[in-house]
Structure 1
Amino acid sequence: MLIPKLFWPLLVYEICSTTVEAIQAKINKLTRRWLGVPPGLTDVAMYCRKAKLRLPLKSILEEYKCGKARLLSMLEDYEDPVVKTVQPTIKTGRKWKVVEAVDEAKECLKVKDVIGQTQTDRKGLGSSTAKWWSKAEGKEKRDMVINEIRLNEDSRRVQKAVQQPQQGQWTN
């Protein structure tokens, strides 16, 4: 309920990522108090999708990054020639750049497309319903880029969990 009310101003106004991180830290503190968990519990335990215990919480910073990436992708793929020639800039501060994140996600998707379908579970070859970057169109490509940014954020959280000896035990 809080995220939709907070998300629209974050998307429309030029707010830097450090401000969103500060908002995220304040909400994390309140959420920890509400859940009754110790203050030393990291955001990895609260927001990571690969953890053993997955809470139904969304990271505001992750939603902010995905929203800005979605906005940039929509502006790049817009069919109006005026918007295509102007190419408005999306300011997100110095710490995280939306253009670099979207370009990195696109490159990662192209590499995955070249590598092809790989075996990731026990279902067998050909059981994956993976979409290919080269065959995707407009909205599908945008969704794939957003999903790749989410995966990058989740892998960042897993890296943080691996570095923590007590709270990262589930990674072993």
Structure 2
Amino acid sequence: MNPENELQNGEDEHSRRPKYTILLPTYNEAENLPICIWLINKYLNELNYEVLIIDDNSPDGTQDIAKKLCNEFGNDKIILLTREGKLGLGSAYVFGLKQARGDFVILMDADLSHHPKHIPEMIALQNKNNVIGHADHESELRIRLFRTPDPNSTKSNSGPIRAESNGIKIIRFR
């Protein structure tokens, strides 16, 4: 168990608030990033969360903006992870997963193609039904239920599950 997630003050596993890690890969998102972080904070401010900004050495000043956001919202809430060169979205998610400290991980784009206002609804559905959510290009919430004996995995009896790298997704991580 991660020491930072250990139970404190006599809490039991059911009374502890889950932590959510939001993975936010960026490349040239200096304009969108402050809005995205502000919206995440607006809709998740009652939750225990952290945002990992994974930047691929953006030439537009994204890292400078991210550092200011870390200072403004707190280095425990907003964390900047930098990588050398444009290494791609998929590998950014893998890199971020290795640093995630949450019980759940939320994957989303920083370009505001999917509005952060959908995250609380997805969390509620995840908690209730063990679901995967997806916001399509019109930013409408789409829910696909995959009930399984193992709450940490998903599978479908009706065919393969497509792994898409866009949209908002939530997965149980711990």
TM-score, normalized by length of structure 1? 0.29
Higher normalized strand content (fraction of residues): 2
TM-score, normalized by length of structure 2? 0.29
Higher normalized helix content (fraction of residues): 1
Larger Rg: 1
